[in-house]
């Protein structure tokens, strides 16, 4: 069995990193740190980095995401600081007009020499949007209708000299946007786990991104995305986010998991779940969510923890069964853990039949048993 892959890094542009805990390695979310991580990712051979778009943090002792870099400008800066690696950014379709985004992405394309890509957030955090007076009253169906128009408009602006558009959410008259992105419109993906979200990505974009809560959940999401893509005649790529916690042995990695969970930030976890659980029609109260999540773990149940051999074997299983085309890694330590993933785990996958474009077979340290 074999499958050509792309390997990416989801950058820690938010303070506290990806785990709401006070006992994880300190991550300040600064540009200086993310520049260092991106340059290391390029040196190790990763295909791309991706930064998120967050406009409101979750507080707590860990200050989870309280500081968060803006994604488009971050990626433009990182493009200037690198030579080969892809620099992908994220845009909320509810917050940024497609005519403004089209110019910003085209500028980043020039800076990077065409190494840009775009992650579309169609649903997102309603509390974050509503603090700006945007997105109120729109349910998921409305949000995806708006995102569909957003994509139609930005693609038209990237390919046409002048755009007239009369939609439900956007109206453009003789709208112009030049220069165009180098090499044509950059690839676009969207994080989606619902059928409506996956259908939107299959019909409008090039990739569907998801993170499962277990091995079976990731496999089911991957298979479902491919099924929907087949129904609409799309060559959709699956991008799966993996939280990886490596150790010299499985026991070492599990000790790290226990340490991070001991420092779990219940306040930040509660706010995160509460805000993402809100709907246009309404919600559980904050206290209800707090009572439900007080005993929960800080570490995602979909986390892969173990030795490089163990993690590589688990990844190979999920990649094959879930028809995964791209693995996007997050981790507690974006220097030490990133080095292990790049030097020990991905080479094992490459040798085992899951090569990344930028990882050479000569770099392998061992093959995954297939």
pLDDT at residue 360 tops 80: no
Q: How many domains does the chain have?
A: 1
Q: What is the mean pLDDT of residues 341-366?
A: 78
Is residue 77 assigned to a domain? yes
Q: In percent, how much of the chain has pLDDT > 90?
A: 79
Is residue 61 assigned to a domain? yes
What is the torsion angle, in degrees rounded to the nearest 10, for the CA atoms of residue 199, residue 201, residue 205 and residue 206? Answer: -100
Is residue 199 assigned to a domain? yes
Name the least confident of 60-64, 131-135, 155-159. Answer: 131-135
Q: Which domain holds residue 323?
A: 6-363
Is residue 370 assigned to a domain? no
The reported pLDDT for the residue numbered 364 is 36
Name the least confident of 82-91, 241-250, 281-290, 309-318. Answer: 281-290
The reported pLDDT for the residue numbered 283 is 54
The reported pLDDT for the residue numbered 279 is 47
Binning pLDDT at 50, 70 and 90, where does residue 365 land? very low
Mean pLDDT of the chain: 90
Is residue 1 assigned to a domain? no
| pLDDT, tens digit, 9 for 90 and up, residues 331-351 | 999 999 999 999 999 999 999
Is residue 82 assigned to a domain? yes
Is residue 368 assigned to a domain? no
The reported pLDDT for the residue numbered 281 is 45
The reported pLDDT for the residue numbered 369 is 38
Q: What is the mean pLDDT of residues 94-118?
A: 97
Q: What is the mean pLDDT of residues 132-159?
A: 90
Binning pLDDT at 50, 70 and 90, where does residue 366 land? very low
| pLDDT, tens digit, 9 for 90 and up, residues 21-75 | 999 999 999 999 999 999 999 999 999 999 999 999 999 999 999 999 999 999 9
CATH of the domain at 38: 3.20.20.30
- The pTM (predicted TM-score) of the whole model is 0.92
Is residue 369 assigned to a domain? no
């Amino acid at each position: 069995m074999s499958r050509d892959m792309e390997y990416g890094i989801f950058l820690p542009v938010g303070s506290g990193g990806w785990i709401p805990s006070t006992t994880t390695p300190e991550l300040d979310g600064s540009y200086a740190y993310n520049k260092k991580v991106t340059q290391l990712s390029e040196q190790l051979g990763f295909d791309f980095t991706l930064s998120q778009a967050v406009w409101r943090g979750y507080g707590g002792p860990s200050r989870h995401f309280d500081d968060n870099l803006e994604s488009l400008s971050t990626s433009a800066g990182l493009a200037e600081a690198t030579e080969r690696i892809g620099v992908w950014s994220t845009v909320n379709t509810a917050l940024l007009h497609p005519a403004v985004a089209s110019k910003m992405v085209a500028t980043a394309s020039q800076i990077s020499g065409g190494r840009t890509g775009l992650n579309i957030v169609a649903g997102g955090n309603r509390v974050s949007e509503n603090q700006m007076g945007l997105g109120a009253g729109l349910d998921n169906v409305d949000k995806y209708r708006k995102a569909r128009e957003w994509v139609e408009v930005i693609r038209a602006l990237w390919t046409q000299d002048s755009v007239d558009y009369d939609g439900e959410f956007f109206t453009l008259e003789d709208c112009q946007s030049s220069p165009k992105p180098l090499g044509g419109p950059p690839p676009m993906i969207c994080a989606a786990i619902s059928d409506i979200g996956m259908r939107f990505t299959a019909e409008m974009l090039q990739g569907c991104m998801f993170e499962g809560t277990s091995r079976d959940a990731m496999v089911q999401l991957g298979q479902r995305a491919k099924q929907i893509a087949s129904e609409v005649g799309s060559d959709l790529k699956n991008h799966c986010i993996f939280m990886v916690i490596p150790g010299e042995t499985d026991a070492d990695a599990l000790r790290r998991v226990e340490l991070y969970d001991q420092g779990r930030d219940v306040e930040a976890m509660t706010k995160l779940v509460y805000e993402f659980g809100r709907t246009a029609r309404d919600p559980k109260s904050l206290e209800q969510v707090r009572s439900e999540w007080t005993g929960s773990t800080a570490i995602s149940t979909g986390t892969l923890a173990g030795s490089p051999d163990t993690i590589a074997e688990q990844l190979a299983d999920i990649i094959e069964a879930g028809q995964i085309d791209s693995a996007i890694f997050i981790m507690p330590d974006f220097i030490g853990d990133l080095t292990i993933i790049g030097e020990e785990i991905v080479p094992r996958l490459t040798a085992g039949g899951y090569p990344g474009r930028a990882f050479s077979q000569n770099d392998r340290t061992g093959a995954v048993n297939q």
